[in-house]
Protein backbone atom coordinates (compact mmCIF):
# COMPACT_ATOMS: atom_id res chain seq x y z
CA UNK A 1 0.00 0.00 0.00
CA UNK A 2 2.98 2.30 0.41
CA UNK A 3 3.45 2.65 -3.34
CA UNK A 4 -0.21 3.37 -3.96
CA UNK A 5 -0.35 6.09 -1.30
CA UNK A 6 2.87 7.66 -2.58
CA UNK A 7 1.50 7.65 -6.12
CA UNK A 8 -1.81 9.05 -4.93
CA UNK A 9 -0.04 11.90 -3.10
CA UNK A 10 2.21 12.63 -6.07
CA UNK A 11 -0.76 12.79 -8.42
CA UNK A 12 -2.61 15.15 -6.09
CA UNK A 13 0.51 17.33 -5.84
CA UNK A 14 0.70 17.37 -9.64
CA UNK A 15 -2.82 18.75 -9.85
CA UNK A 16 -4.71 15.59 -10.79
CA UNK A 17 -8.23 15.44 -9.39
CA UNK A 18 -8.87 13.31 -6.31
CA UNK A 19 -11.12 10.89 -8.25
CA UNK A 20 -8.57 10.31 -11.01
CA UNK A 21 -5.74 9.86 -8.51
CA UNK A 22 -7.82 7.25 -6.63
CA UNK A 23 -8.57 5.39 -9.87
CA UNK A 24 -4.89 5.32 -10.83
CA UNK A 25 -3.86 4.10 -7.36
CA UNK A 26 -6.59 1.43 -7.43
CA UNK A 27 -5.57 0.31 -10.92
CA UNK A 28 -1.96 0.00 -9.79
CA UNK A 29 -3.01 -2.00 -6.73
CA UNK A 30 -5.13 -4.37 -8.85
CA UNK A 31 -2.30 -4.79 -11.36
CA UNK A 32 0.15 -5.68 -8.60
CA UNK A 33 -2.33 -8.18 -7.13
CA UNK A 34 -2.88 -9.83 -10.53
CA UNK A 35 0.83 -10.10 -11.17
CA UNK A 36 1.42 -11.57 -7.70
CA UNK A 37 -1.33 -14.16 -8.25
CA UNK A 38 0.17 -15.14 -11.62
CA UNK A 39 3.64 -15.52 -10.13
CA UNK A 40 2.43 -17.45 -7.10
CA UNK A 41 0.95 -20.15 -9.34
CA UNK A 42 4.08 -20.42 -11.52
CA UNK A 43 6.87 -20.27 -8.95
CA UNK A 44 7.93 -23.15 -6.73
CA UNK A 45 8.01 -22.73 -2.98
CA UNK A 46 10.66 -24.17 -0.70
CA UNK A 47 8.28 -26.97 0.31
CA UNK A 48 7.61 -27.75 -3.38
CA UNK A 49 11.34 -28.13 -3.99
CA UNK A 50 11.81 -30.25 -0.87
CA UNK A 51 8.97 -32.57 -1.96
CA UNK A 52 10.49 -32.86 -5.43
CA UNK A 53 13.90 -33.60 -3.94
CA UNK A 54 12.39 -36.36 -1.78
CA UNK A 55 10.63 -37.88 -4.82
CA UNK A 56 13.84 -37.80 -6.88
CA UNK A 57 15.83 -39.37 -4.03
CA UNK A 58 13.26 -42.17 -3.68
CA UNK A 59 13.28 -42.81 -7.42
CA UNK A 60 17.07 -42.94 -7.52
CA UNK A 61 17.17 -45.28 -4.53
CA UNK A 62 14.65 -47.60 -6.19
CA UNK A 63 16.62 -47.55 -9.44
CA UNK A 64 19.87 -48.27 -7.57
CA UNK A 65 18.38 -51.35 -5.90
CA UNK A 66 17.03 -52.58 -9.24
CA UNK A 67 20.42 -52.11 -10.87
CA UNK A 68 22.13 -53.92 -7.98
CA UNK A 69 19.71 -56.82 -8.42
CA UNK A 70 20.41 -57.00 -12.16
CA UNK A 71 24.17 -56.94 -11.60
CA UNK A 72 23.98 -59.69 -8.95
CA UNK A 73 21.75 -61.83 -11.18
CA UNK A 74 24.21 -61.39 -14.04
CA UNK A 75 27.12 -62.36 -11.83
CA UNK A 76 25.24 -65.44 -10.62
CA UNK A 77 24.56 -66.39 -14.23
CA UNK A 78 28.26 -66.05 -15.13
CA UNK A 79 29.33 -68.13 -12.10
CA UNK A 80 26.79 -70.82 -12.98
CA UNK A 81 27.91 -70.82 -16.62
CA UNK A 82 31.58 -71.15 -15.59
CA UNK A 83 30.78 -74.36 -13.72
CA UNK A 84 29.87 -76.00 -17.01
CA UNK A 85 33.06 -74.94 -18.76
CA UNK A 86 35.71 -77.71 -18.63
**pLDDT at position 1:** 64
Is 34 in the same domain as 60? Answer: no
Mean pLDDT of each 10-residue bin along the chain, 86 residues long: 84 91 90 85 89 96 96 95 86
Residues 32 and 54 in one domain: no
The predicted pLDDT at position 41 comes to: 80
Q: Name the domain count of the chain.
A: 2
pLDDT at 86: 75
Distances (CA, A) of 12 to 17, 23, 30, 80: 7, 12, 20, 91
**Structural domain of 25:** 1-43
34 shares its domain with 6: yes
- Burial class (CB within 10 angstroms; exposed 0-12, middle 13-18, buried 19+) of 46: exposed
Report pLDDT for 5.
85
Q: Looking at the structure, do residues 62 and 84 belong to the same domain, yes or no?
A: yes
Amino acid sequence: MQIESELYSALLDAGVSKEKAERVADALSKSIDQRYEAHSTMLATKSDIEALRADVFKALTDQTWKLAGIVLAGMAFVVAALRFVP
